[in-house]
Amino acid sequence: MLTVRNLTKTYPGGVTALDGVNLDIPAGMYGLLGPNGAGKSTLMRTLATLQEPDSGTIHLDGADVLADPDTLRSRLGYLPQEFGAYPRTSPEVMLAHIAVLKGIATEKCKPLIEFLLHRTNLWNVRKQSIDKFSGGMRQRFGIAQALIGDPRLIIVDEPTAGLDPVERRRFQNLLSQFSEEQVVLLTTHIVEDVANLCPRMAIMGKGKVLAEGEPDVLTRALDGRLWRMKVQREDLAALGANHNILSTRNRAGALEARILADAQPTGSESAAPTLEDVYLATLNAAGIDTGLNDAMAA
Amino acid sequence: MLDIFDFECRYQWRSPHFLIVAAVFFLMTFLGMASDSEQISSSDAALNLNSVYAIVQTHLVFSVIGIFPAIAFVATAITRDHKLRTAEVFYASGVKPSAFATGRFFGGLVFAVGVGLAGLFGTMVGTFMPWLDPERIGVLNPALWAFTAFVILLPNYFFICATFFCLATLTRSMAAAYGAAMAFLIGYLKLNAFTGPEDLSWVVYVDPFGGASISEAFCYATVAERNAELPAGSILINRLIWVSIGAIFLLIATTHFRFSLRKPARKKKRERTVADAPKVTVRPDTAFAPSLFGQFASQLRMDVRGVLRSAPFYVVLAMGMVNVIGVINGSTGQPYNTDSWPVTGLVLRAIEGGFLFVVLMIVIYYVVELVYRERASRVSDLLDSTPAASGAIILAKVVALWAIIAMLLIVVMITGMIMQLINGFTAIEPGLYLRDLLVVNGSYFGGARCRYRGVCRQPLDRNARHDRGVPRHQCSPELRLRTQPVPLQRAVGPVLRHERLRALCGATGVVHALLSALLCASDDRGAPLEPSRVRLFVSRTAPDSETTVLPTDRIRWRDQRLGNDRYKCLDLLQHQCPQ
C-alpha cells in the first residue's frame, strides 16, 4: 500500500506541479490519467525519489519514503518516460550493471537476468546493442530493468506512447503478469490502457487529483446522463452554450456530439458511457480545456 | 537535382559559416601578401612578392588548411537532415537519392571552392597595396591567377570534398569525417616529411594536392623562371589522377546514398541472434547484498568499456602512434648528424614530445565525456533511482580515466620498446619506462593543477634521468656530451628534483581528484528538476566543475620546459662541443 498525503511541489518558475495530492494506492495496477502538464511526471519522479516535494509525506507499506529513500530505491522499479542505455551496450550487460547498483547479490544476478530476458522476450537479442532496438523492444528492456530486485513499487511513466498496437498489447500483457502483489503505478494519456489494465485509477489535472476510484464505478456514475446527438458543425457553438459537450467525433459523415446532462436534450439519444467520457467530464468539470473550444471556434 | 543544389546554396549562404570562413581566408592571404610579418610560404627575398612560385605555394598551403572548412560544407550537407530531423520531409518529396546527394554535394562544393577563391582574392588585393615595394611586384599575370584557381584550388577542393563527402555519406557521421581528415592530414604531412627534393619521382603522383609536382617543376628554376613561368610537367597528370579519384569517390557516394532513416545496417553477422536456451520460468529468488565495491567496479567496467568502444579514442590514439613512431625515427636516427642508438632516454623524449599531447587530448575530452555520459545517453534516471552510492560512481569515473591513461602509456611504452628492438637496440629498460611514464608523468592522473609553477619554470636538469642506466659505450657522442651536468641556473627558492616535483604534482592531482569526487557527492548543482538526491553528474557548462579539472597549466609548463631544453641542447653544441 502506497500512501501519499498532501504532496505539494512548486517549481522556482512559479508553476505549481503538485497541489495537495492525496492518494491511497493498493497492490495491483493503478492508472493515473491526465493531460500533459497535469503533474503526473512530477508525481512519478517524486515517488521514484528523484526529486523532493515541498511538503507532504509518502509511505510505502508504512515506511517513510522521504526520510529513508534508499530503502525504497532497492525495492523500486522505475521505467521513466524517456530513458536510454549506454551506447553500444547490450541488454545483458546493462541489466547486470543495474542489478549490481540495486544491490542484488552477485551470484543471484545471472539467473535473475536470464529469467527477465526470457520473460520480456529479449533472450534472442540479448547481445545486440540497445541503440538498435525498436520502440517496443526498448520498452520491454525498460520493464526488464524495472523488475530487477523483486520491486514492491513499480512506476511506469507513459510506457505505451509511440508503440504500435501489437507492441502495446504485448506490453500490457507483460505488465499485467507482474502486478499481482506489487503496487504498479502507470501513468498514461491513453485512456484505453487504463481501461484494459487497471482495477483502480485516478485522474489528475492542474496538480490535483480530480477523481479517484474503480474505472467501472466511475463509468457507471455517468449512466443515464450521457447523450449523443448529430449536429451540424455550425450549430455546435450554439449547442455548447446550453449544454455540457464532452466530445465531438465524426461518424458516418456527420458530426456527433456527446453531451453530459441530467435531462435528455431534445433530439438526442442515450449513449453508453466509456472511461473516456469519464475522463473528459472530469477535466471539463475542473475547467481544463479538452480541445472542444477549438472545435467550436472552427 | 538543380532544386536540391539551389536549396543547398541558399541554405549555406544564409548560415554565417561561409562568410566567416571566407573572411578569415581573405584576411590571412591578404595580410600574407600585404604585410611583412605574415609570411605564409617561405619566400625568397630575390623573388617578386607576386611571383608564380610564391602564389602557387601560398595556395597549396591554403588548400591544406581548407580541408576542414571544406568538410564542414560538404559533410554537413549530407548529414544535416538526420541531425535536424528533417530527413523524412526530404525523403518523402520523391526526389531521387542520387540526384539528392549530387545536388547537396555540388551545393557544398561551391562554398568550399568559394572559401578557396576568397583566399585567392585576398592575395590578389594584397598585391595592389601601395606600401609594398614596387620593385618586387611583377606585372599582373592573368594566366597565373587562372592557373592557381583552376589547376590548384579547384581540383584540390574537388578531391577533398568528394572524398570526405563519400565518407560522411557512408558513415552518416561528421565525427568520422573529421577523424579521417585528421588521419589524412597526418599522413600527408608525413609524406612531405619523409621525402626530400631528390626523391620526388613517385611522390609527384601520390601528392593529392600537387605540391610535389610544383616543387619538382621549380626545383632547378632560376629566379626569373620562378617569377613568371607557370609550372609544367607532372602537375597536369597529377591533377588528372586526383580529380579522377575524387570523381570515383563522388560516384560511390551518390550511388550508395540511401533514403533510409536508420544508419546503414551492418552485415548480417553483426546481428547476433543467439540460440534459444531452455526457458527459465520460475522466478529466481532475490537476495540483496549491496556492496560499495561491487557498484564501483561495475561502473568502472561500464565507463572503461564506453571509452574503449568509442571511435575518437582510436582516432586520437592512431594519430599519436603515427606521430610518435615518426618522432622516434626522426630523433634517434641522426640527431645533429650523429648516428645514435635509440636509447631509452631518447625514446622517452620522443614520447614526451610526440605522444603525451595525445594523453592530454584524451584526458580533456573524456573527463567531460565520462562526467556527462549518463545524461547524454539518458541513463541517469535509471541509475539515480537505484540505491547505489553517488560517491562510488563518481570515483569509478575518476579511476576509469586513470585506467585509460595508464593503458595509453603502456601502449606507447610497448611501441617504444618495439621501435628499439627494430632498430637493433636490445637493452630494454622497462623500469625506466615505467618510472618515467607512470611516475614522472604521473600528473596526468587526475589532471593536476600544478600549483608549483614558479618552481617548474626553473631550467630543469633532465640529463641525469635520461642517461641513467644507459651503458656508457652505447651512448652516442651527443649523449656523452650531454652527460655533463648543466648547472641549475637562477634557481629561486628550494630546488626540487623535477621528477620528484612532477610526481608530487601527480600525487596532489590524485588527491585533488579524490577530494573532488567526495566533495562533488555532497554538492547539488541546480538541475532543472531540482533532484533531491545527489546528482551524479556535474553540468557540462559549470565553469568550476570540481571533477573536470583541466591540466591547462601543464601545457604552458611543458612548452616552457621543452623550450628551455631545446635551447640547452643547441647551447651545449655551440659552446661546449669539442671541435
Q: Closest residue of B to A132, CA-based?
A: B262
Give B87-101 pLDDT, tens digit per residue: 677 777 777 888 888
Same domain? B371 vs B243: no
Distance between CA atoms of residues B507 and A223, nearest Å = 76
- H or E segment and range at residue A56: strand A55-60
Report the pLDDT averaged over residues B250-272: 66
Angle of helix B154-171 relative to helix B97-127, nearest 10 degrees, comes to 140
> Grid coordinates in use for A69?
529513500
Same domain? B105 vs B209: yes
- Chain B 448-507, residues with CB within 8 Å of chain A CB atoms: none
Same domain? B208 vs B334: no
Domain interval for residue B221: 2-256
**Pairing, β A16-25 against β A153-157:** unpaired
Question: Is the pLDDT higher at B340 or at A82?
Answer: A82
Determine the pLDDT at residue A199.
92
Q: Is residue B313 part of a domain?
A: yes
Same domain? B92 vs B147: yes
DSSP code, position A185: E
Distance between CA atoms of residues B293 and A161, nearest Å = 38
pLDDT higher than 50, residue B476: no
Instruction: Give this complex's ipTM.
Output: 0.87
Give yes or no for a contact between B123 and B33, defined as CB atoms under 8 angstroms apart: yes
Q: What band does B445 get if pLDDT is binned at 50, 70 and 90?
A: low
Radius of gyration for the alpha carbons in chain B, expressed in angstroms and rounded: 28
Q: Is residue B225 part of a domain?
A: yes
Looking at the DSSP bridge assignments, the partners of residue A30 are: A185, A200
Q: Which of B229, B256, B283 is the last residue of a domain?
A: B256
In chain A, residues with a C-beta closer than 8 Å to the C-beta of B295 are 100-101
Same domain? B228 vs B322: no
Angle of helix A135-146 relative to helix A106-119, nearest 10 degrees, comes to 140
Task: Work out the number of other CB atoms within 10 angstroms of the CB of residue A57.
Answer: 14
Q: Measured between CB atoms, which of A50, A74, A97 is closest to B532?
A: A50
**Pairing, β A153-157 against β A76-79:** parallel
> Grid coordinates in use for A41?
511526471
Q: Where are the alpha helices (DSSP H) in B257-337?
A: 292-308, 311-333
∠ Cα A7 A148 A68 (to 5°): 35
In chain A, residues with a C-beta closer than 8 Å to the C-beta of B311 are none
Q: Closest residue of A to B532, CA-based?
A: A51
Give B112-138 pLDDT, tens digit per residue: 999 999 999 998 888 888 887 777 787
CB contact under 8 A, B385 and A12: no
CB proximity B533 to A under 8 Å: yes
Reduced to 3 states (helix: H, G, I; strand: E, B; else coil), residue A210 is: strand
CA B164 → CA B159, B175, B182, B292, distances in Å? 9, 11, 11, 47
* CB neighbour class for A147 (10 Å; exposed up to 12, middle 13-18, buried from 19): buried
Q: Is residue B272 part of a domain?
A: no
CB contact under 8 A, B286 and A149: yes
CB proximity B273 to A under 8 Å: yes
CB contact under 8 A, B280 and A114: yes
Same domain? B222 vs B307: no
Contacts of B555 (CB under 8 A, 6+ apart): B360
Determine the pLDDT at residue B112.
92
Gap from A56 CA to chain B (nearest CA, Å): 14
Distance between CA atoms of residues B382 and B379, nearest Å = 5
Q: Which of B234, B256, B278 is the last residue of a domain?
A: B256
Distance between CA atoms of residues B379 and B389, nearest Å = 16
Q: Closest residue of A to B302, CA-based?
A: A97
Q: How many CB pairs under 8 A join A and B?
A: 138
Q: Which of B256, B274, B301 is the last residue of a domain?
A: B256
Q: What band does B359 get if pLDDT is binned at 50, 70 and 90?
A: confident
Residue-by-residue DSSP string for B53-104: HHHHHHHHHHHHHTHHHHHHHHHHHHHHHHHHT-HHHHHTTT--HHHHHHHH
Give yes or no for a contact between A168 and A160, defined as CB atoms under 8 angstroms apart: yes
Q: Which of A246-255, B168-177, B274-283 has the lowest mean pLDDT?
A: B274-283
Closest by alpha carbon to A89, among B369, B137, B373, B86?
B373
Same domain? B223 vs B372: no
Determine the pLDDT at residue B1.
76
Give A231-244 pLDDT, tens digit per residue: 888 888 888 888 88
Report the pLDDT averaged over residues A165-182: 83
- Cα-flanking dihedrals φ and ψ of residue A19, to 5°? -135, 80
Determine the pLDDT at residue B363.
72
CA A249 → CA A232, A256, A277, A285, B525, distances in Å? 12, 5, 12, 20, 48
Same domain? B236 vs B325: no
> Grid coordinates in use for B184?
589524412
Question: Is the pLDDT higher at B579 or at A18?
Answer: A18
Same domain? B308 vs B414: yes
- H or E segment and range at residue A188: strand A183-188
Alpha-carbon B290 to chain mean position: 43
Question: Is the pLDDT higher at A130 or at B186?
Answer: A130
CB contact under 8 A, B298 and A101: yes
Torsion of CA B24, B26, B28, B34, to 10 degrees: -150
Amino acid letter, residue B176 = A
Q: Is residue B274 part of a domain?
A: no
Q: What band does B280 get if pLDDT is binned at 50, 70 and 90?
A: low
In chain B, residues with a C-beta closer than 8 Å to the C-beta of A87 are 306, 309-310, 377
Question: Is the pLDDT higher at B107 or at B1?
Answer: B107
Reduced to 3 states (helix: H, G, I; strand: E, B; else coil), residue B276 is: coil
Report the pLDDT averaged over residues A33-37: 88
Same domain? B252 vs B296: no
Gap from B520 CA to chain A (nearest CA, Å): 18
Q: Is residue B268 part of a domain?
A: no
- Cα-flanking dihedrals φ and ψ of residue B36, to 5°? -75, -25
Reduced to 3 states (helix: H, G, I; strand: E, B; else coil), residue A247 is: strand
- Chain B 365-404, residues with CB within 8 Å of chain A CB atoms: 373, 377-379, 381-388
> Grid coordinates in use for B363?
584526458
> Grid coordinates in use for A212?
479517484
Determine the pLDDT at residue A193.
86
Report the pLDDT averaged over residues B254-260: 80
Gap from B377 CA to chain A (nearest CA, Å): 6
Distance between CA atoms of residues A273 and A225, nearest Å = 9
Q: Which of A40-44, A49-53, B45-49, B332-336 has the lowest mean pLDDT?
A: B332-336
CB contact under 8 A, A125 and B532: no
Determine the pLDDT at residue A212.
94
Q: Measured between CB atoms, which of A52, A97, A128 is closest to B271?
A: A128
CB contact under 8 A, B529 and A83: no
Same domain? B116 vs B162: yes
- Say how many domains are in chain B: 2
Q: Is residue B535 part of a domain?
A: yes
Radius of gyration for the alpha carbons in chain A, expressed in angstroms and rounded: 22
Alpha-carbon B36 to chain mean position: 30
Closest by alpha carbon to A56, among A2, A24, A8?
A8
Task: Work out the number of other CB atoms within 10 angstroms of the CB of residue B344.
Answer: 25
pLDDT higher than 60, residue B338: no
Same domain? B409 vs B506: yes
Reduced to 3 states (helix: H, G, I; strand: E, B; else coil), residue B228 is: helix
Task: Work out the number of other CB atoms within 10 angstroms of the CB of residue A115.
Answer: 19
Looking at the DSSP bridge assignments, the partners of residue A60 are: A2, A63
Give A87-146 pLDDT, tens digit per residue: 889 999 999 999 999 999 888 889 999 999 988 889 999 999 998 888 889 999 999 999
Distance between CA atoms of residues B565 and B462, nearest Å = 8
The residue with cell 584540390 is: B156
Q: Is residue B24 part of a domain?
A: yes
Residues written for chain A: 298
Amino acid letter, residue B423 = N
Residues written for chain B: 579
Q: What band does B249 get if pLDDT is binned at 50, 70 and 90?
A: very high
Determine the pLDDT at residue B281.
58
Report the pLDDT averaged over residues B346-371: 74
Q: Is residue B263 part of a domain?
A: no
CB contact under 8 A, A112 and B378: no
